[in-house]
Amino acid sequence: MENLDDLKRSKSILMPFSSSDFYSAFFQSGETSSSSLSNNNEISHLLIDVKKQYGKNLTSFQLYHIAKIFESFSYIQDEIEPERLTSFSYYFNEDDEFLIYRKSRIGLTNIIIHDEECIAFSFIGRNTGDRDLIFYEEGEIDYEKLAYKFFAK
């Protein structure tokens, strides 16, 4: 089982600069996208965008967990490289699964929020055999750890 502190300390995820001024300057440069988060207002905007786009299709289970996950992204934003934080997208598929996903040089990461019952974390690397799939039951989710895992690769 991965340790949260190990995830935080991972060199692959930490900002190259420890100063928060670097991070603030990044967002002031206007390079933010609709999927970046710098404060609670942007979390609200992101949730509003999600509801506008997929509105009635989302269950209360999904809306709750989407909000918690976006909150966790905001919570960890000062700990990770800004480029990673702006690198995700979301999608609602024909199986009523809400996807939060990002692609990197290393592979594809998805958080799959089902209409009920469970959430899954999926990573598929470019190299054969390099993949990970974890299921989370309601009540057992460490959102901060999930956020770090999501941005780790």
Partner 1 sequence: MENCKLDYIPVRLHSNDRPPIRNFRVGHLLYHRASPEEIENPYKKVTIAELSHNLGGDTEKPLSSPGDVLFSVKEDEEAERYIDKEVCTLRIISLNEKNQYEKEFTQEKNGHLATARIKLIHDPVPCMYPHCIFRIWLNGVVVTFGSYKQTLKKWRKIRTELKQELASMIIQKAVSQK
Binding site for partner 1 (CB under 8 A): 91, 93-95, 97, 99, 101, 103, 107-108, 110, 112, 114, 117-118, 120, 122, 124-131, 133, 135
29 class by beta-carbon count within 10 Å (0-12 exposed, 13-18 middle, 19+ buried): exposed
Instruction: Using the minimum distance from each CB to partner 1, give the nearer residue, 23 or 150.
Output: 150
C-alpha 55, offset from chain centre:
20
C-alpha 10, offset from chain centre:
17
Instruction: Using the minimum distance from each CB to partner 1, give the nearer residue, 27 or 121.
Output: 121
Question: With helix as H, strand as E and coil as C, how does 80-127 read?
Answer: ECHHHHCCEEEEECCCCCEEEEEECCCEEEEEEECCCCEEEEEEEECC
Instruction: Using the minimum distance from each CB to partner 1, give the nearer residue, 27 or 88.
Output: 88
Cβ atoms of 28 and 21 closer than 8 Å: no
Instruction: Using the minimum distance from each CB to partner 1, give the nearer residue, 22 or 91.
Output: 91
